[in-house]
Structure formats: C-alpha cells, structure tokens
Amino acid sequence: MTFIQKVDLDTFKETHQRRMQQDRIKQRIFYDRKNNYAFYQRFSSDQIREARLIRMKDKWAFLLLPSGEEVSFNEGIYKFELTPDYPLTFGKRTGTPGYAKISALPLGYSLTRQFIDLLYQQGSISNVYMDIQESQMAILLKDTSFHDVPAEMAHFLESKLEEGKITIHQNQIKIESSETILSIAVSNEIKDKIKEMADQQDTSMQEIASRIIDEYFSK
C-alpha cells in the first residue's frame, strides 16, 4: 500500500501548478522559442567576429566582443548584420529525476561562453534553467551527455558543479543529477491523476511523483 493518498495529490496539484507556471516564466526569460533565440547565444557577421545575445532592460540586445560594447537588437541585426552561429534545439522535457546544478559561471569568462555554445548545440533547452545575475550565472540541467569537450572545459565544469555529478571520459562528459529512479505501486486512480498532471505540465509522470514524495517528507 502506498503512502501517496488522494488528498496529498490534490494538494500537490494546486501548489505545483503555480510552481510550474513560475518555472516556465523563468525559462522564457532566457529564451525566445518563437524566434529561436536564447541568452548568450553566439552571433557573428563579416563585421563582428563574436557577439552574444543578452537581456537589457527586459529586451534582447547584443554584447559585442571583445570590445564589450552593448548595442540594441535591431542595431545588431540591421547595422552589423548579425546572424546566429547555430540553431537551437528545444525538444521535450525528459523524465529523468532532478537537475544537476553548475554555479558561479562568470559571464565574462571564455569557458563559460564555450560551454553555453556546447549546451545549445548538443543539449535541449527544454531541459535547462538559467539563473542569470549581473556578472555570473547558474545553470540547472537534466542528465545530458556532451562530446568533443576540451579537457580544460571539462575540469572547469567539474570545479563549478554544485549539485549532481560529472563523469569525464576522454573528450566526453556526462552531467547527471544526484537523484535516482524509485519504483512504487499506486492505484489506477492515482496513476491517472499523475498522468493528467504530467500532460498538463508538459513533463513526465516520474517527475510529478518525485515532487509529491519530496513534498510529503518535507512536511
């Protein structure tokens, strides 16, 4: 008999619908799915070797490198003819539990920019959150594997890992959360409710069940 009761599920549903909405708002701060843009995505042109997409007063703008000059989005697109150096993949949120957290990444550091490029090109943005501060950022991501990773970057990420674990093998790394999957038995009624909530929140049944259990034990 499971300890997950219907009253727990109903309480969780009301609380976490608000939380999921807040999470989605946070995600939208660092990406624009409609236009295929994301924070610190690399742009360039014949005139500008490297530019980074940034947020300036709640609007997209560009940071030109290495000068550090900030220009408006329209100026970057029309005056400097900036275009993205790679497309973005949004994908669907995976069902693996938890997030790994990489903290205190300096925005002015080249390895931070290189990792963001790697993340955008090999990862899925739907499985990423970013906490962006004035001069640094933290990245939370679902279990993700990367290839063609320079050794310097691998060790840099290892030093910045706050939660989860990182496995380095030659030029490949795997970043994982510290959570594991637990199999439990529930009634069909509860299973159907969990499935409904997962569909509504565009996530997995495993993630919904994990959050219910976490909340139960944190009471």
Query: Do residues 62 and 152 both lie within one domain?
Result: no
pLDDT at 212 (0 to 100): 83
Query: Do residues 79 and 100 both lie within one domain?
Result: no
* pLDDT tens-digit readout, 2-60: 455 555 556 555 555 555 544 544 555 799 988 999 999 999 999 999 999 999 888 99
Stated pTM of the model: 0.75
Number of alpha carbons in the 13 Å side-chain half-sphere of residue 205: 11
Distance CA 37, CA 193 (A): 35
Query: Do residues 77 and 106 both lie within one domain?
Result: no
Inside any domain, residue 74: yes
Alpha-helical segments (H) within 62-204: 73-74, 110-122, 151-160, 188-200
pLDDT at 217 (0 to 100): 82
Query: Do residues 199 and 169 both lie within one domain?
Result: yes
Query: Do residues 69 and 153 both lie within one domain?
Result: no
pLDDT at 9 (0 to 100): 57
The answer to whether 165 touches 176, Cβ cutoff 8 Å, is: yes
Number of domains in the chain: 2
* pLDDT tens-digit readout, 135-184: 999 999 999 999 999 999 999 999 999 999 999 999 999 999 988 777 77
Q: How much is the CA Rg of the chain, to the nearest whole Å?
A: 20
CB atoms inside a 10 Å sphere around CB 58 = 6
pLDDT at 19 (0 to 100): 52
pLDDT at 8 (0 to 100): 57
The answer to whether 127 touches 88, Cβ cutoff 8 Å, is: no
Query: Do residues 107 and 123 both lie within one domain?
Result: yes
pLDDT at 116 (0 to 100): 97
Query: Do residues 50 and 124 both lie within one domain?
Result: no
Query: Which of 63, 45, 66 minimizes the C-alpha distance to 54?
Result: 63
Residue 131 sits at the vertex; the CA angle it makes with 130 and 135, to the nearest 5 degrees, is 115
Relative to beta strand 59-65, strand 69-72 is antiparallel
Query: Which of 95, 158, 119 minimizes the C-alpha distance to 38?
Result: 119
Inside any domain, residue 201: yes
Query: Do residues 50 and 114 both lie within one domain?
Result: no
Inside any domain, residue 36: no
Q: Give residues with Cβ within 8 angstroms of 149, minimum separation 6.
A: 118, 171, 172, 173
Distance CA 142, CA 130 (A): 12
Domain with 56 in it? 42-84
Judged on CB neighbours under 10 Å (0-12, 13-18, 19+), 180 is: exposed
Last residue of a domain, one of 84, 99, 114: 84
Query: Do residues 186 and 218 both lie within one domain?
Result: yes
Inside any domain, residue 145: yes
Distance CA 210, CA 191 (A): 13
pLDDT at 119 (0 to 100): 97
- Tokens 């030029």 sit on residue: 171
Inside any domain, residue 37: no
* pLDDT tens-digit readout, 189-210: 998 999 898 888 877 787 788 7
Query: Do residues 101 and 170 both lie within one domain?
Result: yes
Query: Do residues 13 and 66 both lie within one domain?
Result: no
Inside any domain, residue 6: yes
Inside any domain, residue 129: yes
Query: Do residues 113 and 169 both lie within one domain?
Result: yes
* pLDDT tens-digit readout, 72-109: 999 999 999 999 999 999 988 777 778 899 999 999 99
Inside any domain, residue 159: yes
